[in-house]
Chains A and B, each alone.
Chain A
């Protein structure tokens, strides 16, 4: 079964850091681009970042550029999102998502269950 399982969310103070992980199983992880998409409470979906299958190309939304870093360890089938300088507006459920075709960073056929990040003092 194709599956994504996020972890690492929690409560953090403004200005703090957090690292999210997404463990993948059931598909050839290294062949697919992966993305992070977030959803603030009661709000819509917002694309955050994407990374190519090899990890050689990364992409960021302007709202997180310079603060967040996406990476992957294909030997561990795991995707990461390092979040620094966190702000209240980063509070959201963070989903990891698999590209529907190998290079796709804009269409996602498998989603994790999400992990909640709360930025508050």
Chain B
């Protein structure tokens, strides 16, 4: 069982917006603005999409955005495209004992 809880799957049509949630606790997501999000296509290494809650690395489309409310972080993808179909993982700093926790992953299907 993963430390952070994500929905197993989400889906949307091209052009639509979807949001993936990532629920933690007051010991991780709720205490630090240090959530990151990764996109992983089958057989490939993960790719950083969002870090420190809402920052986008250079080269990542502005269709991807991150936010947080309480113990839940969210990744929103607007203007869905076929190439967005992938697995998405959230990750958070969890303090000086556990250090880093991942979510179980969410499979995004573009209909």
Contact = CB atoms under 8 A, between A and B. Distances in A.
Interface of A: 35, 37, 44-47, 50, 59-62, 95, 100, 104-109, 111-114
28 contacts: A35-B100, A37-B46, A45-B38, A45-B89, A45-B91, A45-B105, A46-B102, A47-B101, A47-B102, A50-B100, A59-B100, A60-B99, A95-B45, A95-B46, A100-B51, A100-B57, A106-B36, A106-B92, A106-B99, A107-B34, A107-B36, A107-B51, A107-B91, A108-B36, A109-B57, A111-B46, A111-B47, A113-B45
Nearest to A59: B99
A107 B52 contact: yes
Interface in B57-96: 57, 89, 91-93
Contacts of A59: 99-100
Interface of B: 2, 34, 36, 38, 40, 45-48, 51-52, 57, 89, 91-93, 98-105
Given A59-B100, A95-B46, 5 more contacts: A45-B40, A45-B91, A46-B102, A108-B36, A113-B45
A9 B92 CA distance: 27
Given A45-B46, A113-B45, A106 B38 contact: no
A44 B36 contact: no
Contacts of B93: 105-106
B103 A105 contact: no
